[in-house]
């Protein structure tokens, strides 16, 4: 069930239900950290960053992405790294930095 939480949270985010997405992500982060499930934690961090981008909380989004990127690179888990970098591009675009988003 734990690995499904970030997917479910992302679905709630896409439906515009930020409150439920945040609740699920908090639960998912606690569970992943308690089980030392780094794969799920990387996904949780990415979706937490997406929630922060949606709320225009740039520093929170960047913090979550940096943590997720460091974790995915340490495993290594290139697929999760690529997904986090994509969200980083969305963050840059949302901040009005299309050139940085392309990078």
CA distances from 44 to 15, 22, 103 (A): 17, 10, 24
Contact 39, 77 (CB under 8 A): yes
Query: Across residues 45-57, what is the average pLDDT?
Result: 96
Q: Is the pLDDT of residue 29 over 90?
A: yes
Contact 91, 49 (CB under 8 A): yes
Residues 6 or more apart from 31 whose CB is under 8 A from it?
2, 5, 37, 40
Q: CA 98 to CA 76: how far, in whole Å?
A: 28
pLDDT at 13: 96
Q: What are phi and psi of 57, to 5 degrees?
A: -100, 80
pLDDT at 98: 84
> Mind listing the domains of the chain with CATH numbers?
2-102 (1.25.40.10)
Q: Is the pLDDT of residue 77 over 70?
A: yes
Q: Is the pLDDT of residue 1 over 70?
A: no
Q: pTM to 2 decimals?
A: 0.92
């Amino acid at each position: 069930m734990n690995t499904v939480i970030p997917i479910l949270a992302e679905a709630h985010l896409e439906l515009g239900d930020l409150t439920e997405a945040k609740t699920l992500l908090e639960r998912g982060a606690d569970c992943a950290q308690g089980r030392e499930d780094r794969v799920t934690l990387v996904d949780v961090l990415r979706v937490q960053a997406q929630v922060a981008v949606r709320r225009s909380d740039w520093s929170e989004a960047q913090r979550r992405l940096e943590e997720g990127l460091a974790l995915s690179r340490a495993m290594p888990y290139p697929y999760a790294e690529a997904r986090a970098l994509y969200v980083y591009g969305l963050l840059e675009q949302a901040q009005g930095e299309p050139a940085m988003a392309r990078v």
